[in-house]
A and B are shown apart, each in its own frame.
Chain A
Amino acid sequence: MPAIIQLESLSKLYGSFVALRKISLELEPGRCYLLLGENGAGKSTLLRIVAGLLRPTHGTIRVFGEPRPADTRDRIGYMSHAPMLYDELSAVENLRYFAGLYREQPCLTPKAALRAVGLDPALARPVGQYSQGMRQRASLARVLLPQPDLLLLDEPFSNMDAASAHQMLNLLEHQRAAGKTILLTTHQRELAQPIADFTLILQAGAVKSFVEAHA
């Protein structure tokens, strides 16, 4: 099976600071990869490079076989620490707006995406008045909207209560079962371990280990 993400000697420097150093990886489609590491290990930088939001300083990257991840952005869903939603709009209004940007792609309806993450679509409050956990869920709904093949999730369980986190986990399990590839970072390893196929640990920007999760 051809790799969905191929990284070869990939490095990223911010000035003289080395955020990622010579990372070489191949990730297969339809798998869930757990990206672990301490703060500052380079997890978010790696996700942003795969998403096409950052360019590597050295090395090569291929996503869906394309050398420029930005060319495949309609197949990538990216969730960052921030919700990437407008505070002044409700969740449905936000999702309706973002669905409009994917004009040539079959999208979930905003209501279906919100129900999938356990949010009430009838909630008229602006996102700015949501709790942190609700904002995370609304953000995940935005990611799921265009039904991307590759999900890049940066700390999707942060600020969530245990019940919500398990609900998210079930949702991600369904996504993986549907053939989607998931690359997620978390500090809650035990929580995400059941759905992970592989565990990738970064340390100071380099790969410390890359092993099967249930080995």
Chain B
Amino acid sequence: MPGRLVLLHLLKDLRLEWRSRDAINSMLFFSLLVVVIFSLAFDPTRALSREIAGPILCVVILFAASSALNQAWARDLRNNVLDAHRMSPAPPSSLFLGKVLANFVFVSAVELLLAPLFVIFYNLRALGNPWLMLLAVPLGTWAILINGTFFAALSIRSRNRELLLPLILFPILTPALLAMVLAISAILSGDSDPSSWIQMLLGYDIIFTTISLLLFDTVLNAE
């Protein structure tokens, strides 16, 4: 799969989002809401914050990503553009990888904007190595997006696709979400070594990226 084609699809998706800002706006609004509501629900002392910040961060990322994923293929479905892709000789896996990378850019941008807010609202200071967050969060985000983009494509021909997506996505994501929560909690509390959870995330990402790339052609051309 030529990188040039992946880049072509990625730049197209970034341009489309830049013009409409549909995904970024809904993700930002939703994520801010979750961060603020949870900070009001708890009285976050530092010790409690370290315990709850990992799960809350994962909830924020998961729901922000879900909001982006629901729209991931909407522009390609409108005007039957997906048929133009099916008619082109470009490998479908390049379209898929470009779409996952574009979603990764959107969700990462939201994560970067939310990071300082998270530290302020939850009064956070990591006792473990904070730089490991730069591994745990992107690997967890990739796990959500690679599966999410794949299953969003699988459900595009369904009438209830917005309901169907979380129903098939969340159970498959459970191991990755668990590893992400435990890795982030370990980094924040400093109680244990997060490396095994990070390795698990890496393994999960490699397996599901490979499977998705191999199966996407079948999904795209399904009737």
Question: Could you list which residues of chain A lie within 8 angstroms of chain B, going by C-beta atoms?
Answer: 51-55, 70, 73-74, 76-78, 80-89, 93, 97-98, 100-105, 126, 142
Contact = CB atoms under 8 A, between A and B. Distances in A.
Interface stretch (B84-92, B152-160, B204-212): B84-92
B15 A93 contact: yes
Contact of A97 (B12, B79, B80): B12
Interface stretch (B1-9, B30-38, B141-149): B1-9
B75 A86 contact: yes
Interface string B64-99: 000000000001001111011111111000000000
B218 interface: no
Given A70-B221, A84-B79, A102 B19 contact: no
Contact of B81 (A51, A73, A85): A85
B21 to A, nearest CB: 11
Contact of B79 (A52, A53, A82): A82
Contacts of A98: 84, 88
Interface string B83-127: 111111110000000000000000000000000000000000000
B16 interface: yes
Nearest to A77: B87
Given A73-B88, A73-B89, A100-B8, A84 B81 contact: yes
A84 B78 CA distance: 8
Given A70-B221, A98-B88, A103 B4 contact: yes
Contact of A53 (B8, B12, B19, B83): B83
Interface in B16-71: 16, 19-20
A100 B6 CA distance: 11
Given A86-B16, A88-B20, A101 B79 contact: no
A53 B82 CA distance: 11
A54 B83 CA distance: 11
Contact of A86 (B5, B8, B81, B87): B81
A102 B88 contact: yes
Given A85-B84, A100-B8, 15 more contacts: A53-B86, A55-B223, A73-B87, A82-B80, A84-B79, A84-B83, A87-B78, A100-B4, A100-B5, A101-B85, A101-B88, A102-B88, A102-B90, A103-B90, A142-B84
Nearest to A152: B87
Contacts of B83: 53, 78, 80, 84
Contacts of B88: 73-74, 98, 101-102
Contacts of A80: 80, 83
29 contacts: A52-B86, A52-B87, A53-B83, A53-B86, A53-B87, A73-B87, A74-B88, A74-B89, A78-B87, A80-B80, A81-B80, A82-B79, A83-B80, A85-B79, A85-B81, A86-B12, A86-B16, A87-B75, A87-B78, A88-B16, A88-B20, A89-B12, A97-B8, A100-B8, A101-B88, A101-B89, A102-B89, A103-B5, A103-B89
A88 B126 CA distance: 43
Nearest to B221: A70
A105 B79 contact: no
A101 B90 contact: yes
